[in-house]
Chains A and B, each alone.
Chain A
Amino acid sequence: MVDLWQGLSQAFWLVVTLDAELAEIALRSLQVTFTALALGCLIAMPLAALLAVRRFRWRRTVIAVLNALMGLPPVVVGLVVYVLLSRSGPLGVLGLLFTPTAMIIAQMIVIVPLMASIAHQSLRDLWAEYHDLLISMNVTQSQKIKTLLWDARRALLTAALAGFGRGIGEVGAIMIVGGNIDHVTRVLTTAIALETGKGEFALALALGFVLIALTILVNLLIHWLGQTEREGRW
């Protein structure tokens, strides 16, 4: 209990005094996760739409696999990405290991199945609604996908927020591929793991509270943006 209070007050002071180190790792957390999120959305959303509108042989299998991968253990993702990016691995020449880029790759792998699964569920429902109309209008495959993605954008935002939440709070994968190097690849979650390891519970908790606050802030901000859009247009 004492640790909790110390953590809270320490978090408060870290934020109020705009602690430079905290700002650095918090910004890096956001940078890594937002980049992974942006790139991940570019993959997950069209994939989800394609799975909704296109009938092909392995469709059900792909969907089942995607659903299963939602629970992909980040540690395993981290290990696989590590082995691939390691200097002695197939992509070693790129020299990406222990860089933020490696962390972005790992986070993308973790969040894409999650976002694609959630997005697919709402796109499938919307497609059931639109199917007859769009078929009647002789809409091409890519127009179908564009229409679904645009009209389901609010639901897709929810999927993206789920991806953001999982990405920003993720530690297992980025610890392995990022290496938690000070000033290079240290982010909030790996810093928390480090301080916990040192027994500095109060500082670890403080960072944890900052992380939670940041997540809530981003969610509120995005919901607020979605809200103003609705009121403005409709």
Chain B
Amino acid sequence: MFRILTLGIWLAAGMANAAETLRMAVTTSFHNSGLADILLPEIADDLDLDVQLLVVGTGQALRLGEAGDVDAILVHSQTAEEAFIDAGHGTHRREIMYNDFVIVGPQSDPAAVSGAGDAADALSRIAGNAARFVSRGDESGTHKRELNLWESAGGIPEADWYNEVGAGMGAALNTAAGLGAYILSDRASWLNFGNKGDLTLLFAGDPVLFNQYAYLPVNPARHNHVKADLAADLETWLTSARAQELIDGYMIDGETLFVFNAQPDG
């Protein structure tokens, strides 16, 4: 009897969830930056909109959009995003902001990455020394960027010092900290990471390391339950002066993480 009662309350509670909600798939790196915790309450205040975040890798985020399980996605992998739009899964792609990737490694820096001229050079030095390197290996935006960088540095390594972990940014950083290995991370995840251990930031600043985030509403023509109006409202807000102020003003340890670069009415 008690159980049935509990169930009843449970179902009633589920239905009573009246506030407007929108589901957005975001990448782990975006979520780990902590920016979401700043933006979401403001969105709730300004739009009376409860944005529910699904924190996944870029690959899974795109799949969720494809299946219509989310209303919008916020990811950072331009090629994949354009393919997503071309296939008709999303209506359009709107650039919002960027941050950058950094190369992190052990303080002793056996491959002397800190002295590298550019990102390709840094990776070549790691390969040349056969120094341990941890790769996300999860088809995420970060992973894809890392593979691009390796290609420009002479090819994707296939050696025992190159370890694909198939995990999110945080888990990969944990692994790198444990192994004393080099790793490519987005700056936000790195700054917010709580288990740095012996790791330190060794290389950053090459423009090829810039990391563009874009907002893609899921195509309501494909999935008629998608909340296209709300997704449009959110897009307007994300590209507003209010958002710019919050994004540009977000700092960790005195460092700016994101640069707002949305074009008005792009």
Let me know if chains A and B touch directly in the complex, using CB atoms closer than 8 Å: yes
A residues at B contact (CB < 8 Å): 31, 34-35, 38-39, 86-89, 92, 95, 97-101, 179-182, 184, 194, 196-202
Contact of A92 among B53, B68, B177, B195 (CB under 8 A): B68
B7 touches A198 (CB 8 A): no
25 A-B residue pairs with CB within 8 Å: A34-B6, A35-B7, A38-B3, A86-B68, A87-B67, A87-B69, A88-B67, A88-B69, A88-B223, A95-B225, A98-B23, A98-B52, A98-B54, A100-B10, A101-B14, A179-B54, A181-B23, A197-B32, A197-B168, A197-B169, A198-B32, A198-B192, A198-B194, A199-B193, A199-B195
Within 8 A of A (CB), among B179-206: 192-196
- Does B240 lie at the interface of the complex (its beta carbon under 8 Å from any beta carbon of A)? no
- Does B149 lie at the interface of the complex (its beta carbon under 8 Å from any beta carbon of A)? no
A199 touches B170 (CB 8 A): yes
For A184, list chain B residues within 8 Å (CB): 52
Q: How far is the CB of B211 from chain A (nearest CB, A)?
A: 18
Q: How far is the CB of B55 from chain A (nearest CB, A)?
A: 7
Known contacts A99-B14, A199-B174, A200-B194, A194 near B67 by CB under 8 Å: no
Q: How far is the CB of A158 from chain B (nearest CB, A)?
A: 18
Q: Give the CA-CA distance A35 to B2 in the complex, in Å.
A: 11
Residue of B with least CB distance to A178: B54
Q: Give the CA-CA distance A45 to B217 in the complex, in Å.
A: 46
Q: Give the CA-CA distance A99 to B23 in the complex, in Å.
A: 11
Q: How far is the CB of A129 from chain B (nearest CB, A)?
A: 29
Contact of B174 among A95, A179, A180, A196 (CB under 8 A): A196
Contact of B6 among A35, A179, A194 (CB under 8 A): A35
For B173, list chain A residues within 8 Å (CB): 199
Q: Give the CA-CA distance A188 to B223 in the complex, in Å.
A: 32
Known contacts A88-B67, A180-B55, A197 near B28 by CB under 8 Å: yes
How does the 8 Å CB contact mask read for B40-81 relative to A, with 1 for contact and 0 for none?
000000000000111110000000001111000000000000
Q: Give the CA-CA distance A95 to B17 in the complex, in Å.
A: 14
A181 touches B52 (CB 8 A): yes
Q: Give the CA-CA distance A73 to B54 in the complex, in Å.
A: 22
Query: Which among B28, B32, B170 has the highest number of chain A CB atoms within 10 Å?
Result: B170
Known contacts A197-B28, A198-B192, A87 near B223 by CB under 8 Å: yes
Q: How far is the CB of A100 from chain B (nearest CB, A)?
A: 7
Q: Give the CA-CA distance A143 to B169 in the complex, in Å.
A: 57
Q: How far is the CB of B78 from chain A (nearest CB, A)?
A: 25
Known: A88-B68, A98-B69, A198-B192. 14 other contacts (CB 8 A): A31-B10, A34-B6, A38-B7, A88-B66, A98-B52, A98-B54, A100-B14, A180-B54, A184-B52, A197-B168, A197-B170, A198-B193, A199-B177, A200-B195
Query: Which among A95, A196, A198, A202 has the highest number of chain B CB atoms within 10 Å?
Result: A198
For A198, list chain B residues within 8 Å (CB): 32, 170, 192-194
Q: Give the CA-CA distance A97 to B25 in the complex, in Å.
A: 13
Q: How far is the CB of A227 from chain B (nearest CB, A)?
A: 19
- Does B83 lie at the interface of the complex (its beta carbon under 8 Å from any beta carbon of A)? no
How does the 8 Å CB contact mask read for B92-124 relative to A, with 1 for contact and 0 for none?
000000000000000000000000000000000
